[in-house]
């Protein structure tokens, strides 16, 4: 999918990760990722945190090329046997996953925060 390819290029590529595109959002639903609530996206504390992510860390919203801003997000790490070793649904719109914990879940070794 062109929009996914563009996004992957912008963040440095997929590396050693398999990226699955779920246009129909069927997999999203099975993993508990649905349409978010007003409080998830537009709460004053969430909006303030999103602004701080941009100002402090340079993480700003990208244009939505497909899908919906109202789709909840999640990050999951699945091993070769299909077992979820790390992850879950985002609790708020400003949540940034701690990917260091994903590396630890697969390697068994502590990783310094990036």
Q: pLDDT of 51-91, one tens digit each?
A: 888 899 888 877 777 777 788 889 998 888 989 899 999 88
pLDDT given at position 114: 56
Q: Tell me, what DSSP letter sits at residue 92?
A: S
- At 1-18, the pLDDT tens digits run 788 888 888 888 888 888
pLDDT band, very low/low/confident/very high, at 93 (cuts 50, 70, 90): confident
Task: Tell me if 4 sits within 8 A of 22, measured CB to CB.
Answer: no
User: For the chain, how big is the Rg over CA atoms in Å?
Assistant: 15
């Amino acid at each position: 999918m062109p929009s996914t390819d563009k996004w992957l290029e912008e963040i440095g590529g997929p590396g050693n990760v398999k990226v699955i595109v779920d246009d129909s959002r069927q997999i999203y639903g099975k993993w508990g990722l649905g349409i978010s609530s007003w409080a998830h996206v537009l709460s004053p504390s969430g909006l303030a945190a999103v602004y701080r992510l941009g100002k402090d860390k340079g993480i700003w919203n990208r244009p939505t090329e497909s899908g919906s801003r109202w789709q909840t997000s999640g990050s999951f790490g699945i091993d070769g046997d299909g077992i979820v070793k790390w992850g879950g649904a985002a609790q708020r719109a400003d949540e940034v996953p701690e990917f260091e914990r994903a590396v630890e879940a697969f390697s068994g070794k502590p990783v310094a925060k990036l």
